[in-house]
């Protein structure tokens, strides 16, 4: 697009008999501002999760070298999935061409250009386009410490079955909300979560790996959000079933930079439908032995441990989805996420086809517990009977890589699956339909 926009100018100059035309330097207004707005300002804004704002020319040039370095090293924007794997909706990453444009702009002295010349406003792809239901945390909560994982139980207001067709979270206090996961608790599982809520003093209860009840296979995610995200509409014509009497448990990870970040009251926003063409399920995928404490040993002091497991899930689809999807049929995977804890270094989810070829769904070469989110494919993946879904996770359990908890560096020890901060997981979550 940009090349065509410049074409008349090039012709005009050439017609005047000039020499070789220097490629026009990118300018702030024309090239850089739209890029920063799409990929940086969502977090780098006053009161945002990032430590400083990046919205104006002055702010970007003041930190010029740091900005350039962070972008060229692909540390920023934080998007963990490898782009060599597949394409995702709502991917804020800068393309190689965009990174080059930014470099050229800095080299040219960061020219401002003329306001109103933005060639293409880069809208963030995806985004929740309709809000039919807003569910607020029932109480204000004052987070403490750098890593405070807190769960809150929220009533589901509808008296008839509804389908969730899109999700995002709106932090009440953007300077401390680091990620938000909504769990869907079906009516017959609600009591266990209410007990947790009542057992602990203060608002909500502490939870870390999940919604708080260990290995509760009856629950699934309703959505997940990380800073900078505009939320997403689930694949056209699909939605997650919510029965009357259900509850939503929202897990908020608070990561405060200051001693007193103030209180938070986060809101979940959802798009709903009364009917959908394809009922979807956000279902966990892992080796069933691992949560039982078998086969996922991570011995003390081992620097590199990898566990890999694959299965053709189609014969068990009915079981895995409480009967929502039929067994022994092809399924479509629209969205996925992967989950490890603090020792995790790398994870990957792929389909091993019956013919032996592999198709990558998600590859996170540098796992970071702090940046969890959903990855929605631009085109759904089809898994047929005979194909395997393969999950693989790596950990670093060396003495150097131990987390600092409560101010103290932990000692390396044998680690297995568990819900605690110092336990580990290797869990995929897939959003699937028939
Ligand atoms: C999803 C939220 C998010 C987005 C989007 C984001 N940042 Fe950041 N950024 C952060 C946070 C949080 C930090 C603080 C350090 C950390 O946690 O990594 C940070 C730190 C930085 C730093 C200093 C540390 C470093 O790694 O160099 C720079 C420079 C930076 N960001 C630039 C950018 C630029 C440029 C963009 C857009 C191309 C961007 N960021 C997009 C959240 C974000």
Q: What is the per-residue pLDDT across 337-375, written as a single tens digit (0 to 9) for each?
A: 998 989 999 999 999 999 999 999 999 999 988 777 889
* Residue at token pair 């798009």: 271
pLDDT attached to residue 79:
87
* Ligand 1 centroid distance, CA of 52 (Å): 9
**CB of 178 closer than 8 Å to CB of 49:** yes
* Ligand 1 centroid distance, CA of 262 (Å): 22
Give the residue among 231, 158, 156 at the shortest CA–CA distance from 190: 156
pLDDT attached to residue 220:
81
Ligand 1 pocket by Cβ (under 6 Å)? 39-40, 42-44, 49-51, 54, 63, 66-67, 70-71, 75-78, 92, 94, 227-228
CA separation for the pair 397, 411 (Å, rounded): 10
CA angle 80, 82, 88 (to 5 degrees): 85
pLDDT attached to residue 76:
93
Give the residue among 372, 340, 152 at the shortest CA–CA distance from 255: 372
What are the tokens at 391? 């999950």
CA separation for the pair 416, 407 (Å, rounded): 23
* Ligand 1 centroid distance, CA of 252 (Å): 20
CA separation for the pair 189, 205 (Å, rounded): 17
Tell which atom from ligand 1 comes closest to the C-alpha of 67.
29
What are the tokens at 43? 């977090």
CA separation for the pair 50, 118 (Å, rounded): 25
What are the tokens at 328? 């022994």
CA separation for the pair 106, 184 (Å, rounded): 47
User: Which residue's CA lies nearest to atom 2 of ligand 1?
Assistant: 43
**CB of 383 closer than 8 Å to CB of 314:** yes
Tell which atom from ligand 1 comes closest to the C-alpha of 229.
1
pLDDT attached to residue 6:
35
Give the residue among 323, 332, 333, 399 at the shortest CA–CA distance from 362: 333
> Which region, left, alpha or beta, applies to residue 67 given φ > 0 means left and ψ of -120 to 50 means alpha?
alpha
* Ligand 1 centroid distance, CA of 296 (Å): 34
Substitution candidate for ligand 1 out of 34, 42, 44 with most atoms within 8 A of CB: 44
CA 26 from chain centre, in angstroms, equals 31
* Ligand 1 centroid distance, CA of 310 (Å): 35
Task: Name the stretches of the chain with pLDDT < 70.
Answer: 1-23, 119-126, 257
pLDDT attached to residue 257:
67
**CB of 345 closer than 8 Å to CB of 310:** no
* Ligand 1 centroid distance, CA of 93 (Å): 12
* Ligand 1 centroid distance, CA of 76 (Å): 5
Give the residue among 230, 314, 309 at the shortest CA–CA distance from 271: 230
Query: Does the CA dihedral 284-346-90-50 come out positive or negative?
Result: positive
Tell which atom from ligand 1 comes closest to the C-alpha of 227.
1
User: Which residue's CA lies nearest to atom 27 of ligand 1?
Assistant: 70
């Amino acid at each position: 697009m940009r090349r065509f926009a410049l074409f008349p100018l090039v012709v005009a100059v050439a017609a005047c008999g000039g020499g070789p035309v220097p490629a026009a330097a990118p300018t702030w207004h024309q090239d850089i501002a739209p890029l920063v707005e799409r990929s940086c300002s969502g977090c780098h804004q006053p009161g945002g999760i990032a430590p400083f704002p990046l919205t104006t020319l002055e702010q970007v040039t003041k930190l010029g070298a740091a900005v350039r370095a962070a972008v060229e090293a692909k540390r920023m924007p934080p998007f963990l999935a490898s782009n060599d794997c597949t394409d995702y909706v709502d991917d804020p990453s800068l393309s190689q061409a965009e990174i080059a444009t930014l470099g050229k702009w800095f080299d040219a002295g960061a020219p401002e250009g003329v306001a109103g010349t933005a060639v293409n406003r880069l809208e963030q792809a995806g985004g929740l386009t309709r809000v039919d239901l807003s569910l607020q945390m029932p109480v204000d909560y004052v987070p403490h410490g750098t890593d405070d994982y807190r769960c809150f139980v929220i009533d589901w207001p509808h008296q008839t079955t509804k389908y969730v067709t899109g999700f995002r979270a709106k932090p009440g206090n953007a300077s401390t909300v680091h990620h938000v996961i909504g769990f869907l608790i079906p009516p017959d599982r609600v009591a266990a979560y209410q007990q947790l809520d009542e057992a602990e003093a203060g608002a909500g209860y502490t939870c870390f790996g999940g919604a708080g009840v260990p290995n509760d296979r009856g629950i699934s995610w309703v959505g997940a959000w990380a800073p900078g995200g505009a939320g997403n509409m689930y694949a056209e014509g699909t939605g997650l079933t919510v029965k009357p009497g259900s509850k939503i448990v929202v897990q908020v990870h608070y990561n405060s930079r200051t001693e007193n970040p103030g209180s938070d009251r986060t809101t979940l926003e959802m798009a709903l439908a009364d009917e959908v063409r394809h009922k979807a399920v956000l279902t966990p995928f892992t080796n069933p032995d691992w949560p039982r404490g078998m086969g996922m040993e991570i011995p003390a002091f081992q620097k590199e441990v990898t566990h890999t497991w694959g299965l053709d899930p189609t014969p068990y689809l009915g079981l895995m989805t409480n009967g929502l999807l039929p067994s022994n049929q092809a399924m479509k995977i629209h969205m996925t996420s992967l989950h490890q804890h603090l020792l995790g270094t790398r994870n990957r989810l792929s389909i091993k086809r019956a013919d032996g070829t592999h198709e990558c769904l998600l590859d996170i070469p540098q796992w970071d517990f702090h940046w969890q989110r959903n990855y929605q494919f631009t085109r759904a993946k089809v898994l047929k009977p005979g194909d395997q879904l393969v999950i693989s996770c790596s950990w670093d359990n060396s003495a150097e890589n131990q987390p600092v908890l409560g101010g103290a560096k932990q000692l390396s020890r044998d680690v297995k699956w568990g819900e605690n901060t110092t336990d580990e997981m290797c869990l995929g979550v897939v959003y699937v339909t028939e």
